[in-house]
Amino acid sequence: MNCPWFGAEDFAILRLEVGRLICYIVHEMVESILYEKLSGARVRCGVCQRRCLISEGKMGYCHTRLNSKGRLYTLVYGEVSAQHIAPIEIKPLFHFYPNSRAFSLGTLSCNFRCIGCQNWHIAHSDPGVGRTEYVSPEESVRLARQYNCQGLSWTYNEPTIWLEYTIDGARLAKEEGLYTTYVTNGFMTPEALDRIGPYLDAFRVDIKGFRNDFYREIANVGAFKGILEVTKRAKERWEMHVEVVTNIIPGYNDDEGQLRDIARWIRDDLGEDTPWHVTRFIPHLKLSNLPPTPVETLESARQMGMEEGLRFVYLGNVPGHPSENTYCYSCGKSIIERHNWMVLSFSIEKGKCRYCGVKIPIVGHYVGVKGQHDES
């Protein structure tokens, strides 16, 4: 069997799936750290909230974990489908090391299958189908340093599905003085969060809507309550910096009921200082027939968030809109001006508004020209 990109040190796994023979190329077979061994060589995965029951020789929902002879292995350890040097604002994280750069990594597949996913080319691609490059945890940290990045970010698809790899990378990053972030759908188990928790600084989570039927239709997920619980745990138990994104899809989650419910939950469970990013939907995949979100809808959502008591509500995917900026909740002055993820001005000194002196909740330092750190 001719398997592309097959190296002398790689493992080849051949599987017959839906009438086709697929060759999975795995550089490093790493046993999962979260699973339960059951009778009949079956296992139950403990990484995400699906908790897949996997028979011998089969894979879970995400197709990144294989039951081989009663042991569960990850097929994506170190398998990188995308790597970029990215401004932290693009995640988006607006209150975390402003103007810094994160060495950003993604793998293949996801534990969701969102019908309008913008990164569908990797998030809907299984190992053995999508092309990857092996990057060890040590190499990821070295590259972050080489490119003058201030941190690492696991993003582009759901980072939980390569939990073991991100833990190893995050541990090394922290030893080297780099920050660490997840861009996540939040559908991990509490056990998975607790494994990565000691090494993760920021948790940028999607709260896609606030109804079970919405999550079922969009992401093939039966209930979203566990996402809320894990997000609250990230903040309270592990003291991670949390920012929330809701991508507003016309006709799906743009109703006032869901939007106000999200805002109230953020206020009550995460705190009024938690940034909420309401972002413009761009048509993809099975939702390609929809229009982009009207700017007026986003502005209305922002207004709802402010009315519900949130201090920092931002518009996303609308470059140049005034609501990309951070405004002091006390005096109303613009204190961080942005354009399309670029920081244009920064008016916070020693953690306080330059104009009125009120404390502004920003984690980390503003990163100036050539990586210089200025007190925030």
**295-332 exposure pattern, b = at least 16 Cβ within 10 A, e = fewer:** eebbbbbbebbeebebbbbbbbbbeebebbbbbbbeee
* Contact of 116 with 163, CB cutoff 8 Å: no
How far apart are alpha carbons 368 and 376 in whole angstroms? 11
Per-residue CA distances from 271 to 245, 248, 264, 274 (Å): 15, 22, 9, 6
360: helix, strand or coil = coil
Report the pLDDT value the prediction gives residue 127, as an integer from 0 to 100.
80
Report the pLDDT value the prediction gives residue 10, as an integer from 0 to 100.
47
Q: Which pLDDT tens digits describe the chain residue by residue (376 residues)?
A: 334 333 434 455 545 454 554 555 667 789 999 999 999 999 999 999 999 999 999 999 999 999 999 999 999 999 999 999 999 999 999 999 999 999 999 999 999 999 999 999 999 998 877 689 999 999 999 999 999 999 999 999 999 999 999 999 999 999 999 999 999 999 999 999 999 999 999 999 999 999 999 999 999 999 999 999 999 999 999 999 999 999 999 999 999 999 999 999 999 999 999 999 999 999 999 999 999 999 999 999 999 999 999 999 999 999 999 999 999 999 999 999 999 899 999 999 999 999 999 999 999 999 985 444 444 4
* Contact of 313 with 276, CB cutoff 8 Å: yes
- The domains located in the chain, with CATH, are 11-74 (no CATH), 80-317 (3.20.20.70), 325-376 (no CATH)
How far apart are alpha carbons 67 and 295 in whole angstroms? 47
How far apart are alpha carbons 349 and 376 in whole angstroms? 5
Tell me phi and psi for residue 50, to 5 degrees.
-70, -30
Query: Residue 333 has which token pair?
Result: 């002055």
Report the pLDDT value the prediction gives residue 22, as an integer from 0 to 100.
53
Query: Residue 162 has which token pair?
Result: 């390569």
- Write down the residue that tokens 């244009």 correspond to: 344
Query: What single letter denotes the amino acid at residue 146?
Result: Q
Query: Residue 164 has which token pair?
Result: 């073991």
Q: Which DSSP symbol is given to 111?
A: S
Q: Which residues contact 74 (CB under 8 A, 6 or more apart)?
A: 30, 31, 32, 64, 65, 162, 163, 164, 165
